[in-house]
Amino acid sequence: MVIEIPELFSPQEVREIRTALEGADWADGRATAGHRAAQVKENEQLPLGHPLAKQLADRVLARLMQTPLFIAAALPQRVLQPRFSRYDGRGHYGNHVDNAIFPIPGTGEHLRSDISGTLFLSDPETYDGGELVIEDMFGTHSVKLPAGHLVVYPGSSLHRVAPVTRGTRLVSFFWTQSFVASPERRRLLLELDGAIQGVAADHPEHASVDTLTQVYHNLLRQWSST
Are the CB atoms for 189 and 75 separated by under 8 Å? yes
Domain covering 183-223 in this structure, CATH number: 4.10.860
What are 171-183's pLDDT values in tens digits? 999 999 999 999 9
Q: For residue 125, give the DSSP letter.
A: G
Degrees (nearest 5) of the Cα angle 200, 206, 211?
85
Residue 202 predicted with pLDDT over 70: yes
- For the chain, residues classed under CATH 4.10.860 are 183-223
Q: Report d(CA 182, CA 225) in Å as an integer.
A: 11
Q: Report d(CA 217, CA 193) in Å as an integer.
A: 10
Share of the chain above pLDDT 70, in %: 97
Residue 37's pLDDT is 67
Average pLDDT of span 35-64:
90
Residue 223 predicted with pLDDT over 70: yes
Q: For residue 47, give the DSSP letter.
A: -
Residue 35 predicted with pLDDT over 70: no
Q: What are residue 204's DSSP bridge partners? A: none
Residue 36 predicted with pLDDT over 70: no
Q: At 28, which amino acid appears? A: D
What are 146-172's pLDDT values in tens digits? 999 999 999 999 999 999 999 999 999
Average pLDDT of span 107-116:
96
Q: Is 43 helix (H, G, I), strand (E, B) or coil?
A: coil
Q: What are residue 116's DSSP bridge partners? A: 153, 175
Residue 140's pLDDT is 93
| Residue 28 pLDDT level (bands cut at 50, 70, 90) | confident
16 or 49: which carries more pLDDT confidence? 16
- For the chain, residues classed under CATH 2.60.120.620 are 3-178
Q: Report d(CA 85, CA 93) in Å as an integer.
A: 11
**Cβ-count burial 20-44 (b if 16+ within 10 Å, e if not):** ebeebeeeebbeebeeebeeebbbb
Q: Is 224 helix (H, G, I), strand (E, B) or coil?
A: coil
Share of the chain above pLDDT 90, in %: 85
Flag whether the pTM goes above 0.75. yes
Residue 29's pLDDT is 81
Q: Report d(CA 169, CA 43) in Å as an integer.
A: 10
Residue 31's pLDDT is 72
What are 64-102's pLDDT values in tens digits? 999 999 999 999 999 999 999 999 988 999 999 999 999
Q: Report d(CA 7, CA 13) in Å as an integer.
A: 10
Residue 23 predicted with pLDDT over 90: no
Residue 82's pLDDT is 97
Domain covering 3-178 in this structure, CATH number: 2.60.120.620
Residue 121's pLDDT is 98
Residue 225's pLDDT is 82
Average pLDDT of span 54-60:
97
Q: Report d(CA 154, CA 105) in Å as an integer.
A: 22
